[in-house]
């Protein structure tokens, strides 16, 4: 009770300083903000403050895109550490010719808004995806990699580089 009364006095002084001069307004604000017995501050039990605007990590993201040559599907599931996604990428070559998947720092998907922490990367330039074949890769990516939810896949077919942009979407786990 003493703490409630002290809080009300401090609050009324702050309101006077910031320009709220009518006593009825001060009393109304002080009464509406007084603490109840359940949420009173105590030295032994600090209250945990939760930032309601902080985005929560989505536990499952999925996306796919295709053109006349290549179909790409991405499935990303948050790992137990809540810092990384286990990401499965499926490439399907839909034509009867081989194509080259172009690597970005060793990964066949890239996020142009996510900077690689290394100055230079040891990378394979490309991977041959044989005609009419399905290839699957699993990689672990930091959750920040998916902040803008756009993942790019680049491939080369007959010396022409093409780009597909996968829009990742939140998926509810069943």
pLDDT value at position 103?
Answer: 87
Domain range holding 128? 60-170
Does residue 40 sit within a domain? no
Does residue 51 sit within a domain? no
For residues 65 and 7, state if they share a domain.
Answer: no
For residues 86 and 159, state if they share a domain.
Answer: yes
Does residue 37 sit within a domain? no
For residues 75 and 137, state if they share a domain.
Answer: yes
CA distance 18 to 128: 68
pLDDT value at position 58?
Answer: 74
**Class of residue 3 by CB neighbours under 10 A (exposed 0-12, middle 13-18, buried 19+):** exposed
- Sheet strands side by side (includes 60-66): 134-142, 84-93, 70-78, 60-66, 169-170
Spatial contact of 70 and 92, defined as CB atoms under 8 Å apart: yes
For residues 25 and 64, state if they share a domain.
Answer: no
Does residue 45 sit within a domain? no
For residues 113 and 70, state if they share a domain.
Answer: yes
Place of tokens 């803008």: 148
Per-residue pLDDT of the chain (174 residues; tens, 9 = 90+): 444 444 445 545 454 444 544 455 545 544 444 443 333 444 444 443 333 333 455 789 999 999 999 999 999 999 999 999 999 999 999 999 999 999 887 788 988 766 555 555 655 578 899 999 999 999 999 999 998 889 999 999 988 999 999 999 999 876
pLDDT value at position 102?
Answer: 92
pLDDT value at position 75?
Answer: 97
For residues 72 and 121, state if they share a domain.
Answer: yes
For residues 105 and 165, state if they share a domain.
Answer: yes
For residues 159 and 99, state if they share a domain.
Answer: yes
Q: Which two tokens stand for residue 144?
A: 């920040």
pLDDT value at position 140?
Answer: 94
Does residue 55 sit within a domain? no
In this structure, what CATH number is given to the domain that contains residue 154?
Answer: 2.60.40.1230
**What's the structural domain count of the chain?**
2
Does residue 48 sit within a domain? no
Alpha helices for the chain (secondary structure H): 2-18, 23-32
For residues 130 and 89, state if they share a domain.
Answer: yes
pLDDT value at position 32?
Answer: 47
CA distance 134 to 103: 17
For residues 112 and 159, state if they share a domain.
Answer: yes
Does residue 46 sit within a domain? no
pLDDT value at position 117?
Answer: 55
Q: Which two tokens stand for residue 55?
A: 């985005």
pLDDT value at position 114?
Answer: 67
For residues 165 and 81, state if they share a domain.
Answer: yes
């Amino acid at each position: 009770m003493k703490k409630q009364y002290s809080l009300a006095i401090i609050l009324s002084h702050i309101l006077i300083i910031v320009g709220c001069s009518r006593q009825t307004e001060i009393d109304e604000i002080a009464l509406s903000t007084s603490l109840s017995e359940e949420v009173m501050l105590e030295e032994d039990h600090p209250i945990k403050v939760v930032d309601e605007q902080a985005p929560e990590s989505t536990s499952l993201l999925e996306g796919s895109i295709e053109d006349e040559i290549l179909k790409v599907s991405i499935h990303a599931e948050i790992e137990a550490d809540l810092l990384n996604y286990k990401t499965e990428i499926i490439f399907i070559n839909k034509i009867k010719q081989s194509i080259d998947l172009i690597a970005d720092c060793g990964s066949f998907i890239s996020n142009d808004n996510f900077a690689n922490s290394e100055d230079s990367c040891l990378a394979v330039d490309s991977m041959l995806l044989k005609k009419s074949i399905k290839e699957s890769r699993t990689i672990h990516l930091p959750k920040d990699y998916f902040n803008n939810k756009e993942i790019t896949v680049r491939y080369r077919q007959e010396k022409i580089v093409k780009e597909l942009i996968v829009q990742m979407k939140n998926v509810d786990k069943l």
